[in-house]
Amino acid sequence: MARFSPGFIDDLKAQADIVLVVQDVVTLKQAGSTYKGLCPFHREKTPSFHVNRDKGFFHCFGCATGGDVVKFVELHEKLSFPEAVQVLAQRFGLRVPESDDPERDGEAVAEREALLKVHELADEYFRAQLRAAAGTGARRYLEARDLAPETVERLALGYAPPGGGLTRHLQDRGQPIELLLKSGLVSRRDGGRPYDRFRNRLMIPIARETGSVIAFGGRALAADQEPKYLNSPETPLYAKGRTLYGLHLTRQAVREAGYAVLVEGYFDLAQLVQAGVKPVVATCGTALTERHVRLLRRFCSRTLLSFDPDSAGEGAAARSGELLLAHGFQVNVVQLPPGDDPDGYVRGHGGEAYRERLRTSRPYLEDVLDRASAERDLSRAQERRALLDRMKPVAQAIRDPVLRDDFLDRVEHRAQVPEGMFRAEVREGATPNRSAVRSDIRTAQTALLPAEKGLIWAMMHRTAAAQSVLSGLEPADLEGLQTTRILSAARSLATVPAEGAPETLRERLDEEDAELVRTIEQESVAAAGVEDCGIELRKRRYDREREALQEAIDRRQRDGSPDALSEIDALWARKKDLLQRIEELAG
């Protein structure tokens, strides 16, 4: 049986969003900080199956089945633990390191635990040094950066003295020098005496989203000190490409807001947190990576990029925007005056002014097209060609078919090219992983409702009837479905002639969705009648709204105040109206 290297399972659970995995087979509805639905492991009519994204586990109060994301895949797919790990790793793009040496595995686990202890001791040491007389200069620096003592304490900032001292401190507490060298906190040149990696620096602890310190960033305090920022090297605990700074402090705020403000620097994050802009995270001195994006996707589906407004920042925003779009994020760009980063802007204009910048942030697709157009003389054919080449990877990254369709139209208009020309180039230029797409299609098909499959099948074979049903549905009727993107695109074609609508739909879908449509189209009969499909989707929406109203009524009843009682009457009236509509559908 395959054994997995220590730490890999923790990384897998951090990257694999349990809500996304469970939603493949269960229709989930958010209820406070958790999600709930009908249990897939026993028959029930009232949802008792709960999923906690923040803690990464599921539990059914009806049959007592529960566990983490790996356990869910094991139970539902009837796989062994190694097989479930392989399935999740493939889905979330992780390479699986394997080991067949139990003794070595045990040593590695012990080493990781020891490294966590070293970082815990170092964190305490640096914080104590900042409070001591030796940290006077560092405290003055923080005051000059307009950071209040409460913010310093919340971020757990510290100080590394110029003469060192950390190595001796850790050795006095029984930590062996070999472990200290492996932690990256201590260095050694050519076999000489060990010395502290961080000296005369403001120390910024970097933690996992769970709160354990795994690395440090050090800001130089002397004018001639290089580099200005020095980070821990990569270790068995720390990889900068999969760690988002500050997420352990802000993840709940990100989840509640539904978005994250993404910044580049430690002090950008510090100023925003101090100003009350809570849903913010930062990269650790590196470009945004796929692992960063998958980690962030566990907490939100929208990002506001707030990078420096210089050429480097604009380039970083462009690269980050494409990557985020490819993972289904809604992306906006925060516009700051030239020369201002988030840190400087908040210090100069205040938190409320920055929040207004967030409110007026521009959609990334508008921003990237406008910037690329402004850089070119579009009266020249060569420059129009260059604009199309620049916009092609952006268009290919867009997962939402309606959004992509609108973007393609705007690019063609801006570049003054014939309608459909750029659309064809984008479609031909896509090179998806066919085997991965087919694997995802097989997984997705098992989770589709008959109403979803029936409507898609009808769109291909009974197009006019499907258009009629879809035109009678509202966007809310399609929420929470595996095929929301497909059906939303199909619904937007209500006025397109029936004979051309199927092909137009295929053109507007990405390869994965188009492959799913082709698979359903090839089935010999529909999964359900097209009229019944529309009724079922509307009924599911009404059921969701009825449950939400009942939960609101229950909360007000527990409150018991006069205001709550008057609100209950209004809620009951809405529920009565909803029940009447449900009865009308059933009749």
| Residue 437 clears pLDDT 50, i.e. is over it | no
% of residues, the chain, pLDDT over 90: 45
pLDDT of residue 559: 63
- Tell me which CATH code domain 242-368 carries: 3.40.1360.10
- Contact between 323 and 288 under an 8 Å Cβ cutoff? The reply is yes
Query: Would you state the pLDDT for residue 244?
Result: 95
CATH match for 3-99 among 3.30.720.110, 3.60.130.10, 3.30.70.270, 3.90.580.10: 3.90.580.10
Asked if 450 and 488 count as a contact pair (C-beta separation under 8 A), the reply is no
In this prediction, residue 135 has a pLDDT band, given cuts at 50, 70 and 90, of: very high
Fold of 102-237: DNA primase DNAg catalytic core, N-terminal domain (3.90.980)
pLDDT tens digits, residue range 343-367? 999 999 999 999 999 999 999 999 9
Q: Which residues pair with 58 in a beta bridge?
A: 51, 67
Question: Which tokens sit at 322?
Answer: 């494409």
| pLDDT above 50: residue 552 | yes
* DSSP code for 232: P
pLDDT band at 441 (very low <50, low <70, confident <90, very high): very low
Band of pLDDT at residue 534, cut at 50, 70 and 90: confident
At position 356, the amino acid (one-letter code) is E
pLDDT, tens digit (0-9, with 9 covering 90-100), for 142-186: 999 999 999 999 999 999 999 879 999 999 999 999 999 999 999
**Nearest one of 130, 357, 127, 327 to 263, comparing CA atoms:** 357
CA 353 to CA 343: how far, in whole Å? 12
Q: For residue 143, give Cα distances in angstroms to 138, 151, 204, 265.
A: 9, 11, 16, 18
* Beta carbons of 577 and 538 less than 8 angstroms apart: no
> Is 3 in contact with 99 (CB distance < 8 Å)?
yes
Instruction: Please state the domain extents for the chain.
Output: 3-99, 102-237, 242-368, 376-429, 434-528, 534-586
The gap between the terminal CA atoms of the chain, to the nearest Å, is 56
Stated pTM of the model: 0.65
Res. 436: pLDDT tops 60: no
